[in-house]
C-alpha cells in the first residue's frame, strides 16, 4: 500500500506537477531578468533533484527499471539508433524552423529564445552540462520509470507509450503549443528503442545529440533572423 501511494504521488508529480511548474515558469517575468547561466544552473539542479528522487521511487516500486532500462546494447546498435533518431528529429526541426521563417508557423516563444546560448561559455554549458543532464534525467523519468509504472497499472504498453509522450509534451509547456507538440512527438520517437530493446542508452544519446545540436544551430538561426528583422526595421 505504501509503495503504491509513493508511485502514485511521484507519477502525479511527473504528469501534473512538472507541467504546472513549466507553465508557471513561462509566465514568470522575473526569470527573463536572470543571467542565462543562472537559468541553466537552476534547470540542471532541479532536473538532478527530480532524477535522484525518482531513483529512490524506482528502487522502492519499480527496480526492474534499473535492470532492464540500463541494459547494455551492442555499440553499433546503440549508436545506429541514436544517430537515426537524432537525424530524423533534427530534420523535422529544420522543417519547422523553415516554416517559422516563412511565417507559416508561429515564432518560438520568448523563453525559448532566452535559453539559446550566445557566448562561448554558454555554448559549452549547453552542450556539456545542460544537454546531457536533460538527456539522462528526462529519459530515466519519462522513458524509464513512467512507462514502466503506467504499463503496470493499465496493462498496455501502447497506452503507456501514448500517455508518457503526452506528459513529456506538457512538461515543455514553457515552449508554447508548438513546443509541446514537438516534445510530445519526440517523446514518442525516443520511446521506440526503449520498447524495442529495453534499453535507455540509445534514447539518452539521441536526446543529447538533439538538444546539443538544436541549441547551437537554433541559436545561429535565430541570430540571423533577428539581424534580418532589425535590418528591415532600420530601412
Domain that holds residue 143: 2-226
233 inside domain: no
199-203: average pLDDT: 96
pLDDT of residue 234: 42
User: 14, 74, 76, 67: which is closest to 198 by C-alpha?
Assistant: 67
Residue 143 cell numbers, joined: 522513458
Tell me the Ramachandran region of residue 182: left when phi exceeds 0, alpha when psi lies from -120 to 50, beta otherwise. alpha
Look at the chain and report how many structural domains it folds into: 1
Q: Within a domain: residue 185? A: yes
Taking only the tens place, the pLDDT of each residue in 110-121 is 888 888 998 999
- Rounded mean pLDDT of the chain? 90
CA angle centred on 15, ends 11 and 17, rounded to 5°: 95
C-alpha cell at 231: 535590418
Mean pLDDT of 4-15: 95
Record the cell numbers describing residue 154, joined without a space: 493499465
Output the nine-digit C-alpha cell for 225.
533572423
Q: How far apart are CA 196 and CA 67, in angstroms?
A: 15
Q: Is the pLDDT of residue 91 over 80?
A: yes
User: Alpha-carbon distance 229 to 214, whole Å?
Assistant: 21
CA distance 33 to 82: 36
Q: Is 235 inside a domain boundary?
A: no
Handedness of CA 25, 106, 182, 206 (dihedral sign): negative
Residue for cell digits 520498447? 195
Classify 63 as helix, strand or coil. Answer: coil
Q: Give the mean model confidence (pLDDT) for residues 48-58.
A: 96
Buried b (16+ CB within 10 A) or exposed e, 160-178: bbbbbbbbbbbbbbbbbeb
The predicted pLDDT at position 220 comes to 65
Asked, for residue 132, whether it belongs to a domain, the answer is: yes
**Within a domain: residue 232?**
no
* 197 assigned to some structural domain: yes
What's the pTM? 0.92
234 falls within a domain: no
Residue 30 resides in a domain:
yes
Amino acid at each position: 500500500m505504501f509503495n503504491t501511494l509513493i508511485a502514485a504521488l511521484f507519477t502525479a508529480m511527473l504528469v501534473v506537477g512538472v507541467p504546472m511548474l513549466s507553465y508557471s515558469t513561462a509566465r514568470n517575468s522575473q526569470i527573463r531578468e536572470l543571467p542565462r547561466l543562472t537559468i541553466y544552473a537552476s534547470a540542471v539542479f532541479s532536473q538532478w533533484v527530480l532524477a535522484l528522487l525518482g531513483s529512490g521511487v524506482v528502487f522502492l516500486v519499480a527496480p526492474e527499471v534499473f535492470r532492464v532500462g540500463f541494459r547494455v546494447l551492442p555499440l553499433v546498435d546503440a549508436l545506429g539508433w541514436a544517430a537515426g533518431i537524432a537525424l530524423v528529429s533534427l530534420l523535422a526541426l529544420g522543417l519547422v524552423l523553415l516554416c517559422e521563417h516563412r511565417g507559416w508557423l508561429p515564432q518560438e516563444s520568448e523563453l525559448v529564445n532566452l535559453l539559446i546560448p550566445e557566448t562561448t561559455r554558454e555554448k559549452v554549458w549547453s552542450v556539456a552540462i545542460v544537454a546531457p543532464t536533460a538527456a539522462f534525467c528526462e529519459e530515466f523519468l519519462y522513458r524509464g520509470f513512467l512507462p514502466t509504472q503506467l504499463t503496470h497499472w493499465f496493462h498496455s504498453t501502447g497506452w503507456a507509450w501514448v500517455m508518457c509522450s503526452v506528459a513529456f509534451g506538457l512538461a515543455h509547456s514553457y515552449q508554447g503549443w508548438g513546443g509541446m507538440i514537438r516534445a510530445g512527438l519526440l517523446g514518442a520517437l525516443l520511446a521506440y528503442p526503449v520498447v524495442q530493446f529495453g534499453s535507455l542508452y540509445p534514447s539518452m544519446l539521441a536526446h543529447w545529440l538533439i538538444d546539443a545540436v538544436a541549441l547551437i544551430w537554433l541559436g545561429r538561426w535565430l541570430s540571423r533572423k533577428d539581424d534580418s528583422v532589425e535590418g528591415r526595421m532600420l530601412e
